[in-house]
Structure 1
């Protein structure tokens, strides 16, 4: 009998929210992300986490920003894979995301999914092993995991829903350690603006001027800055699509949640 996942609690339970949103998205007529794994993983995890799933269902009206974020990051990741079929991808705070399986990942790519050890153990129960795919149980802010990543390959560092929860000094140290260790690659992540962070009080690091990271670290070059809601035309529901179109006209709303991409 397969091992059953333990009940998730606290912040770990929020892993189910985006998983539920992707499962819901997959059932729509025009999925934004197209995650064929989500429903099956949710079915297994949800049996032990009914309360978290109920919370996700109650908040499902807010599913579109996380879905739009995931799709844009999927597209940027696929761009990197197409350009560097011999590269590496490191996904920080991978949670229960299926990106390593839903994208077209060349067999020559080394893919590393990193999260806290208990989350990684949970992933082992719901996702298969595969050549070139490795799991690392570690905090993203612990520099020890970098020793496991080859330094001589172009490397994509992907952090979805991770950096805003770190202290500013940890973000600065992490970005510096990445570029000191790795020869070349890209860094992509989502950032939260100051006003949004102050309203929620959940976030520790905020993204003001994206060029600030270039001043921290001369090896980083900003390539793209995109509002999370920029791709609102992908929303299949007409009412929500109209709502996000209106919101996108206001700079404060556009800049509250952004996706950035850097080259190093």
Structure 2
């Protein structure tokens, strides 16, 4: 564990480069603006010779739907929205997309209670909901 903001410049050097690399940035990137995301991805792909990175993205419908509640309850603000997950491919030319998955189509949905599975199935039929949160996996 490293106590640091991902925007700080010196934390990355505390991690060995000669190991297989899997970066998981769940619930993180949406709190950065697009330039900060781009810079972080650049630093990660320049530092590690190769690896994979998994992260989630939210579309503007999801962010706008919950922004007041989020601000009230945590004081946090989502800054980065991704309405077309293919636009993420343009942020770093070293990244090669392996997968893009709507959270409503996760392989673990079948483990949820029946009411939740039915709700997810219904929400998936509506475009704004279908793409509100996606999991992306890239190789570099």
Scaled by the length of structure 2, the TM-score of the pair is: 0.84
1:170 to 22, 33, 36: 36
Q: Which residue of 1 aligns with 2:130?
A: 254
Structure number with bigger Rg: 1
Q: Which residue of 1 aligns with 2:24?
A: 158
Q: Which residue of 1 aligns with 2:90?
A: 215
Q: 1:240 to 1:211 in 2, by over 3 A?
A: closer
Contact 1:194 1:208 in 2 (8 A): yes
Q: 1:212 to 1:230 in 2, by over 3 A?
A: same
Deviation digits for residues 225-251 of structure 1 (CA, Å, limit 9, x no counterpart)? 11112133221x222221111112222
User: How big is the shift at 1:200?
Assistant: 2.5
Deviation digits for residues 89-128 of structure 1 (CA, Å, limit 9, x no counterpart)? xxxxxxxxxxxxxxxxxxxxxxxxxxxxxxxxxxxxxxxx
SS at match of 1:226: strand
- Paired with 2:23 and 2:129, the residues of 1 have a C-alpha distance of 26
- Paired with 1:143 and 1:213, the residues of 2 have a C-alpha distance of 23
Contact 2:82 2:88 in 1 (8 A): no
- Paired with 2:98 and 2:136, the residues of 1 have a C-alpha distance of 8
The count of residues paired between Structure 1 and Structure 2 equals 129
Give unpaired runs (5+ residues) of structure 2: 68-76
Q: Which has the higher helix share?
A: 1
Give unpaired runs (5+ residues) of structure 1: 1-134
- Paired with 2:40 and 2:12, the residues of 1 have a C-alpha distance of 10
- Higher RCO, 1 or 2 (CA under 8 Å, sep at least 6)? 2
SS at match of 2:30: helix
User: How big is the shift at 1:199?
Assistant: 2.6
CA RMSD across the alignment: 1.4
Scaled by the length of structure 1, the TM-score of the pair is: 0.46
Q: Which residue of 2 aligns with 1:136?
A: 2
SS at match of 1:205: coil
Q: Which residue of 1 aligns with 2:120?
A: 244
SS at match of 1:260: strand
